[in-house]
Structure 1
Amino acid sequence: MERKIFLKNTLAALGLAAVAPLAVSSCGKDTDTTTSTTDSATTDSTTTGSAAASSCTVTATETAGPYPTKTPSSYVRSNIVDGQAGVPLTVKITIANTKNSCAALSGALVDIWHCTAVGYYSEYVVNPGGGYTSVDYTSSHFLRGRQTTDSNGLVTFTTIFPGWYSGRAPHIHVHVYNSSGTSLLITQIAFPTDICNTVYTTASDYKAHGKQDTSNTSDMVFSDSLANELATVTGSVSAGYTLTHTVYVAA
């Protein structure tokens, strides 16, 4: 935990320009959710993040930076692809209230954002490393969106499978607010290793970038909190994937 706090404080001190090459990692060599596989780097298990978090405790709080959405209320939409190439991904996030026996929380505002197939974020000047150059995306808003949870506490987004950038495991950022707009939790969602390896080595929009360089267990965010941040992902490169995950908040 001390290592993660130190790294987060270091990132904040460095500022966006210096952080871009550092705040990047991959969908590491870690716990898997949909299939049990063994590759040259690691052996994965079938424990899911949502199942591991079912004890009704608040999901781990994580940093929003270095590329949070600047005006999330401007991007109320379920389809956040915005022309970006990649393997289709349906994101289904359920918000549960730990102050109400983990019952579904309806009316909550949920923002998500993530990088492109090769590690770029919209709204910023970004250099994802790995041989890629800096690109100014300050006028773009792709792969960002907001939805309101239904009576089952569910929001659904249509997007693409995130890529990776050096120094971070593949992830999706999530910010949850109550219906009045008060912040409840900022967290991140991790991806199963075997799914990432498949996408990054076989899908055309990802192959040039190759496999992630950082595992979930060595990631500065997930290393001490993977049990309640690892999603379940099902599907295939040809048919697309579906991510399901529950985020627990104290509302």
Structure 2
Amino acid sequence: MTAFAFSGLGLGHAATKTYALTPTTTEGPYFVDEKLKRSDIREAEDGQLVVLTIRVMTLDSEGQPVALPNAQVDIWHCNADGDYSDVKNNIANTCGETFLRGYQISNKRGVVRFKTIFPGWYTGRTVHIHCNVRTFDNSGAVDSEHQTQIFFTEALIEKVYEAEPYLTRAARRDQFNDTDGILNGVSDPSVLIAKASYDEDRVTASIRLFVNPDDAGHTAKTSTTCG
């Protein structure tokens, strides 16, 4: 993970602050390039409303953060029952469905915003949202690609899961933040945990992602199991 630093030049200036690129993670299951440009990805899925703001940044030659406009930000995640759309496996067949998938293009401040539901869980993983950030050249070819995953605090997860449709699921969680191999496989897991607040109507969450727009080394592959 590349790190950059800048520092104040004397008394009264800001203390040294180091920024690091957001860790890439394994792409995880079931990326499908559905090309669904939409901010509300819920469709008919039941679950706690989440308003998720992602700010895409990069680092200039001095290590200072700057917004990255015109990046395509895809997110996808499982529903409250732990199922992904457009997948066929021994648990579910959702081929042709597109729930909880979509992308937005970052504005001049690097910001995209989605409405979704709070993810459920499935065996072997803590609660998470997958994210793929791409930039394109003038011909439309992919210039860079950055896959990561977004997580939530255990306190928030427990609060949301006190209500339906999560509360009465027969399957119980078998993986938590402190035991999840992907979250704990990065040097600083805290940078992948969204800042979030909860009330009766919604979870409001935000995260900054620092990406390298010159890095083409993390190319996502469609991993649907639908033939």
Q: Do the structures match in fold with TM over 0.5?
A: yes
Which residue of 2 is the match for residue 8 of structure 1?
none
User: Unmatched 5+ residue regions in structure 1?
Assistant: 1-53, 128-133
C-alpha deviation, 1:212, in angstroms: 2.8
User: Unmatched 5+ residue regions in structure 2?
Assistant: 1-16, 214-227
C-alpha deviation, 1:179, in angstroms: 3.9
Aligned ranges for residues 231-246 of structure 1 at < 5 Å? 231-236=194-199, 238-246=200-208
Which residue of 2 is the match for residue 205 of structure 1?
165
Instruction: Say whether 1:157 aligns with 2:120.
Output: no
CA–CA distance in 2 between the matches of 1:117 and 1:86?
6
C-alpha deviation, 1:126, in angstroms: 4.2
- Cα 1:211–1:98 change in 2 (3 A) is farther
C-alpha deviation, 1:60, in angstroms: 0.8
C-alpha deviation, 1:211, in angstroms: 5.5
Which residue of 2 is the match for residue 95 of structure 1?
56
- Cα 1:249–1:91 change in 2 (3 A) is same
CA–CA distance in 2 between the matches of 1:57 and 1:82?
35
State the structure with more CA Rg.
2
CA offsets 1:166-186 (integer angstroms, 9 cap, x no match)? 110100001001143333310
CA–CA distance in 1 between the matches of 2:144 and 2:107?
18
Which residue of 2 is the match for residue 168 of structure 1?
125
Which residue of 2 is the match for residue 143 of structure 1?
100
Q: Secondary structure of the residue that 1:136 maps to in structure 2?
A: coil
After TM superposition, the score normalised by the length of structure 2 is: 0.78
Which structure dedicates a bigger proportion of its chain to strand? 2
Instruction: Say whether 1:113 aligns with 2:76.
Output: yes
CA–CA distance in 2 between the matches of 1:183 and 1:150?
17
User: Is the CA contact (8 Å cut-off) linking 1:197 and 1:211 kept in structure 2?
Assistant: no
Number of positions where the alignment pairs a residue of Structure 1 with one of Structure 2: 188
Which residue of 2 is the match for residue 68 of structure 1?
31
Which residue of 1 is the match for residue 135 of structure 2?
178
CA–CA distance in 1 between the matches of 2:116 and 2:89?
20
CA–CA distance in 2 between the matches of 1:125 and 1:224?
28
C-alpha deviation, 1:113, in angstroms: 0.3
State the one-letter code of the partner of 2:205. L
Which structure dedicates a bigger proportion of its chain to helix? 1
Which residue of 2 is the match for residue 224 of structure 1?
185
CA–CA distance in 2 between the matches of 1:159 and 1:126?
24
After TM superposition, the score normalised by the length of structure 1 is: 0.71
Which residue of 1 is the match for residue 86 of structure 2?
123
CA offsets 1:183-230 (integer angstroms, 9 cap, x no match)? 331000111101101111x21110112763212121110013212211
CA–CA distance in 1 between the matches of 2:183 and 2:41?
25
CA–CA distance in 2 between the matches of 1:233 and 1:211?
23
Q: Secondary structure of the residue that 1:196 maps to in structure 2?
A: helix
- Cα 1:80–1:64 change in 2 (3 A) is same
CA–CA distance in 2 between the matches of 1:208 and 1:55?
44
C-alpha deviation, 1:164, in angstroms: 0.7
Name which of structure 1's ranges 170-179 and 208-217 shifts more when overlaid on structure 2.
208-217
- Cα 1:57–1:136 change in 2 (3 A) is same
Whose RCO is larger (CA < 8 A, sep 6+)?
Answer: 1
CA–CA distance in 1 between the matches of 2:206 and 2:172?
23
**Alignment root-mean-square deviation, CA:** 1.6
CA–CA distance in 2 between the matches of 1:224 and 1:62?
8
